[in-house]
Amino acid sequence: MNTELPEYDVIIVGYGPVGVTTANLLGGMGVRVAVVERDASIYPRARAISTDEETIRIWQAIGLAERLKEDMLAGRPIDFVDARGRSFLSLAPAPRGNGHPPQLFIYQPAMEEVLRDGVSRYPNVEVLLGHDCELVEQDSDSVTVTARDLTDDRLRTLRGAYLIAADGGSSPIRTGLGVGFDGRTYHDRWVVIDTKVKRGWDTVDRLRFHCDPARPAVDCPTPLGHHRWEFPVLPDEDEQDLVSHDYIWRLLRRYGRTPDEVEILRAVIYSHHVRFAARWRVGRIFLAGDAAHAMPPWIGEGMSSGVRDAGNLCWKLAGVLRGELPDDVLDSYEVERKPHVREMTAQAVRFGRIITERRPGLTALRNIAFRLVMRVPAIRAYMQEARWFPDNSYRKGLLDHTGGNRAVGKQLPQPWVQTDGGDRARLDDVLAGRWTLLHTGQARPWPAWAAGGISCLQVTPAGSAPAPGTIVDDEDVLIPWMRQHHATVLALRPDVVVYAAATGDADLPRPPFVHPPQSPVAEQTPPPAATTAP
């Protein structure tokens, strides 16, 4: 047993969207963090192309949501079209109450630059770019990482209480731990073409899935003047030829694009995967993002699922490190996240089948069937508003189902509210990443929670006068939601998920604390504006 105190609380290996989100979250919670990243700079290719309101809500918690949204495209149409370019299915996802647009297109290098600038706010986070993680060892007390500085070949040893492996789908750490990565890799490979828009065209601002049995294609807007194309590699094609400019122009001209409209920036071939790590925790090491799961890109949720991993894990780690929560709380990370990732992956696979079907007879039936069922109002609303999108709610985990209240495990919607001083703010900004009790009736002692110093706020109806100990439900969202779930008091976790709920005279279950929680959020300052060249 190594009795030397860890140099860091958490070591993060990998500094893509998941790793950098994790660094921001933990940095803002005052956790001592080291980041180890092999690449010396941001990866230039735009891999992820979209995100959603739940992800933006997590980035809101680190104070970067509004800056990030400046570089995103929201409210753009999504069409599934046949071989002649005629739409048979259109989507316009409806908001789910998170306080941000439901679908946003991104340019990943610019997004990562903003997130990395955000990390610079925290002196408690050390970032080691250009360092290759060569060895990871753990004992009962800590994790030790040996990293090689690729500029001078020197080795550095880092020791932390925990490690988060956000080192991608090929994750050397997962492999080194002997954790299985079960699932499949699709036979089809795809060429991804990133372009710079020189002159727009009539559909430049919309995502179009060209469901052509001869050759499906993805035609996707990305912000800051970029546009993405994706095509499958056909059996008789040479992959090296396919990434040449001559071949790329053959593909783009098929859809009317010319060198006057777009400039080719880069092209790469990749495969689609459906895989899940057998375990997401091994001792003091946690897998996150692509290291834990991989899904096809058809609903744009691969990166967002990894950001959700970070949002679920980080506050729990901070609570354990501060002695507020027992270590076994960390087992709830996989228990809560894995079912949702599986549901999301299943939906991605279903939509992939719609897009990539190659048999002409079946594609003809598909087109007719969708056009017919979309005439039924209920089905049209279900499909167009993306009600099929899996809710991020938990059935098991760090929850107390005593009393059987159906609000438990659900994330509370985020409306605009008025604070006791009359200021208007988003709900999460008022709760500020703390355990909180919200109630709609008379305040009760709830002694176990009061002993932990947990904030207790009464939700009052829209139009109420602001008062101490209250928030005004300006948009008339919270009170109806609580009424719908038969709850008059909610115990909220730092991620605004309902830990426990009660109604009427029923008492709340006891909190899970070992010691009363401390204030979890460090003072934040906005990062400088990002500028990323194509």
pLDDT tens readout for residues 328-383: 999 999 999 999 999 999 999 999 999 999 999 999 999 999 999 999 999 988 88
Out of 162-171, 182-191, 317-326, 409-418, least confident range:
182-191
CATH number at residue 148: 3.50.50.60
- 314, 331, 355 - which closes a domain: 355
In a domain, 168, yes or no: yes
Whether residue 532 is predicted with pLDDT greater than 90 in this model: the reply is no
In a domain, 147, yes or no: yes
- 325, 355, 385 - which closes a domain: 355
Q: What percent of the chain has pLDDT over 90?
A: 82
Same domain, 178 and 279: yes
pTM confidence score: 0.94
In a domain, 249, yes or no: no
The predicted model gives 493-509 an average pLDDT of 92
Residues 6+ apart with CB under 8 A from 24: 62, 64, 115, 118, 119, 122
Same domain, 334 and 422: no
- 302, 333, 355 - which closes a domain: 355
Q: Which domain, by its residues, includes 56?
A: 8-71+101-182+274-355
Total domain count, the chain:
2
In a domain, 284, yes or no: yes
Same domain, 25 and 162: yes
**Rounded (10°) CA dihedral 379, 382, 388, 391:** -150
Same domain, 146 and 60: yes
Same domain, 64 and 178: yes
In a domain, 232, yes or no: no
pLDDT tens digits along 251-295: 999 999 999 999 999 999 988 999 999 999 999 999 999 999 999
In a domain, 196, yes or no: no
CATH number at residue 453: 3.40.30.10
* Cα R_g (the chain), whole angstroms: 24
What secondary structure, in 3-state letters, does 342-393 show? HHHHHHHHHHHHHHHCCCHHHHHHHHHHHHHHCCCHHHHHHHHCCCCCCCCC
Grade residue 533 by pLDDT with cuts at 50, 70 and 90.
very low
Same domain, 21 and 158: yes
pLDDT tens digits along 28-46: 999 999 999 999 999 887 7
Same domain, 441 and 322: no
Same domain, 158 and 297: yes
Same domain, 138 and 46: yes
**Rounded (10°) CA dihedral 313, 494, 62, 97:** 100
Closest alpha carbon to 348 in 296, 273, 272: 296
Give the number of residues written for the chain: 534
pLDDT tens digits along 205-239: 999 999 999 999 999 999 999 999 999 999 888 88
Same domain, 422 and 339: no
CA dist., res. 92 & res. 79, Å (int): 9
**Is the torsion defined by CA of 241, 243, 249, 250 positive or negative?**
positive
Specify whether the CB–CB gap between 317 and 12 falls below 8 A. Answer: no
